[in-house]
Structure 1
């Protein structure tokens, strides 16, 4: 185990927080999967779901390990070449979206011969954030004109969002918000940012008007769901989402300060999506307010560590990659918690690293691998600078000794520390 830990490079604090969240996830997933077990085979045995979650987590950590070994600057080219591939995947998903549990899920596709369902928008978000970071770092020394950025930056962004929007409004809104935050940090002109935000709002309104004009189109089938969820959130009328929120609030209220205890949740048997979208409610019911605050604290500490990693990065691209991939992860967690306590309408966002689900865990781990790759590079640079400083100091001592030997013939420079000579291969040349 010690040898394995020593092989892990990069920010050890990020590794620690990620491992803590992943380890904690086994208890709520094992407990909250009981309703799925009853629906699936009527036994209530959740061991199979626990093993499945274990496999997802193990594969996720392998992804982190493999990706963090790749120099992060390689992803500059990958993001540019990957965007057209992502568009094809999103278009295929929109047309060919699979059915999950009898419901239309046009945001998912099924991988042939494997049977794994995959949410392509998660891949698109990662590629898009890296693409934006690449553009901003490339244009750092050049004045940005709106005309050039409209084609080079915003056209790819809006094409990507257009493919995601019909099936998943919450993910589209989250990605757009994070892109705006990223360009703001990258010092994109504020007057242009304001125009882009306004254009985005106008485009969304136009999209909704078209959806209203063609209500029977499969392409706009999710638009009615967005409107009803927002309307249900703002009105006091009984509705379908009220059942989920009501059960989630009952679970949170039942937890009290210290919770009912691990595995003792009652609402997990009634709350839909209790192991994914509403897993935070089950955590609070079983672990109480104390457990909920601990999970919130871990995410906030991880956010703080992302800020530190971004600050330490020596390149603008590295800084923006950490912000672009790390911050959305934390904001997604905040949205999931806010939905559980009815601060936001139901969105379908999972709790990163804790909710069950393969593709969401794997894509989160892929993003974490890139972030750790940035911190790994900075560690290597720091080690190189340290070694260079040691070599320079050894050479300086050797030169001083050589000068002293010329001034005092009785002093032999070759008697100087053998260890210093070994430290710097130039010492032999200097002695000659």
Structure 2
């Protein structure tokens, strides 16, 4: 006689939404996201107190407490978004896109300026950066619009998607935020490519990108300075990059030990843009390899799940979202190791920052919703 089922077991006939979610969610991707959130909390403990003291906060645990709040909010958003089906993911993304777009317009008039850019809205003691939310929303909305070409070939779907992208790009450049503009453009082009990018569009993107890059170099002094400092480091101030390189070199294989790093006391953005350097200095090359493996495996697993989708909208949108996540991590790490000109971009889930944490949770949450059921599916010996 078989044992009676316990309260924690789910019957195969149970078709409730919670059981369906539990059966279809990609637990590998979900686990990877929570692993990175945990790494972010650990690094906040490492870099937060020094940053708080350097800036002048009375409470040295200021950044640690706030990062814990951001992490909790990100966990809720990640799980909540993953509960959606493909149709609701598109509807929620559309609402987020238009609300974020309206907030970005509002910011240009009423937002406050920090570090030469106008990107944030003050909400009490917190600040919100709507551009972090508009990116994943645009990718999902664009994926859906481009997929409509199959059902309604005569509709101007590609033109509408491009107009949404162009408006968003214009608002980002007006802030100005060149780094996020590059990231959004790359993810949008990948989404477009997966949807079946015509060669004439590819040529237009290439030409337009080259022309815009030259224009930004000519018009924006900070862009020109960063590019010039990358190619001629001896003639420009490269203090942050030099300090980051020193920290990475000092870390060696196993690091100098938790809390023993020096770079966090001298770099103003050590707890945000240069958190990777702090990690390598204190925990060494081994920790860096583990972190790189986590990002790489998540992106590869996400692409594999997206490739299995039959629906064109879900396939293109999921690929774009995983690209957005992976490229942001790649750009941040590349800046830390001086492979590309410096950009103000956070390391997803690891750097301090509420808007970045929420934006990343939204990105992966929507991606998890779109690939539900694919992570537990295999095709042949090699999956």
Task: Trace 1:154-233 onto structure 2 (pairs within 5 A).
Answer: 154-166=162-174, 167-206=176-215, 211=219, 223-233=220-230
- Tell me what 2:15 maps to: none
How far apart are the structure 2 equivalents of 1:377 and 1:294?
Answer: 27
Moved more, 276-285 or 91-100: 91-100
Considering Cα pairs closer than 8 Å and 6+ residues apart, tell me whether 1 or 2 has the greater RCO.
Answer: 2
Task: Trace 1:262-277 onto structure 2 (pairs within 5 A).
Answer: 262-277=258-273
Determine whether 1:76 maps to 2:90.
yes
* Deviation per residue, 1:123-157 (Å, 9 max, x gap): 12112101210112111355579xx3563222221
- Tell me what 1:64 maps to: 78
- Residue 36 of structure 1, CA deviation: 2.0
Q: State the secondary structure of the residue aligned to 2:116.
A: strand
- Tell me what 1:23 maps to: 38
- Tell me what 1:407 maps to: none
Moved more, 198-207 or 175-184: 198-207
Determine whether 1:304 maps to 2:297.
no
* Deviation per residue, 1:304-340 (Å, 9 max, x gap): 1101221232312221221111111111101111101
Moved more, 350-359 or 261-270: 261-270
- Tell me what 2:50 maps to: 35
- Tell me what 1:385 maps to: none
Q: Structure 1 pair 80/369, CA: closer, same or farther in 2 (3 Å)? A: closer
Q: State the secondary structure of the residue aligned to 1:106.
A: strand
How far apart are the structure 1 equivalents of 2:49 and 2:364?
Answer: 30
Pick the aligned partner of 2:103 from 89, 92, 109: 89
Q: State the secondary structure of the residue aligned to 2:340.
A: coil
* Deviation per residue, 1:159-197 (Å, 9 max, x gap): 110110131011101111111111111112122221233
* Deviation per residue, 1:356-388 (Å, 9 max, x gap): 1111101111121112222335589x8xxxxxx
- Tell me what 2:315 maps to: 319
How far apart are the structure 1 equivalents of 2:93 and 2:136?
Answer: 9
- Residue 94 of structure 1, CA deviation: 2.4
Gaps of 5+ in 1: 212-222, 383-432
The normalised TM-score by structure 2 is: 0.86
Gaps of 5+ in 2: 1-6, 10-17, 378-383
- The answer on whether the counterparts of 2:26 and 2:374 sit within 8 Å (CA) in structure 1 is no
- Tell me what 1:350 maps to: 346
- Tell me what 1:108 maps to: 120
Q: State the secondary structure of the residue aligned to 2:37.
A: helix
- The answer on whether the counterparts of 1:34 and 1:268 sit within 8 Å (CA) in structure 2 is no
RMSD: 2.6
Q: State the secondary structure of the residue aligned to 1:277.
A: coil
Q: Structure 1 pair 162/307, CA: closer, same or farther in 2 (3 Å)? A: same
* Deviation per residue, 1:60-102 (Å, 9 max, x gap): 10111222222231233444455443332112222333144xx
- Tell me what 1:214 maps to: none
- Tell me what 2:231 maps to: 234
- Tell me what 1:376 maps to: 372
Q: Which structure: greater helix fraction?
A: 1
Number of equivalenced pairs? 360
How far apart are the structure 1 equivalents of 2:276 and 2:182?
Answer: 22
Q: Structure 1 pair 192/357, CA: closer, same or farther in 2 (3 Å)? A: same
- The answer on whether the counterparts of 2:133 and 2:359 sit within 8 Å (CA) in structure 1 is yes
Determine whether 1:332 maps to 2:331.
no
How far apart are the structure 2 equivalents of 1:162 and 1:267?
Answer: 36
Pick the aligned partner of 2:112 from 90, 98, 105: 98
How far apart are the structure 2 equivalents of 1:235 and 1:137?
Answer: 45
How far apart are the structure 2 equivalents of 1:150 and 1:74?
Answer: 22
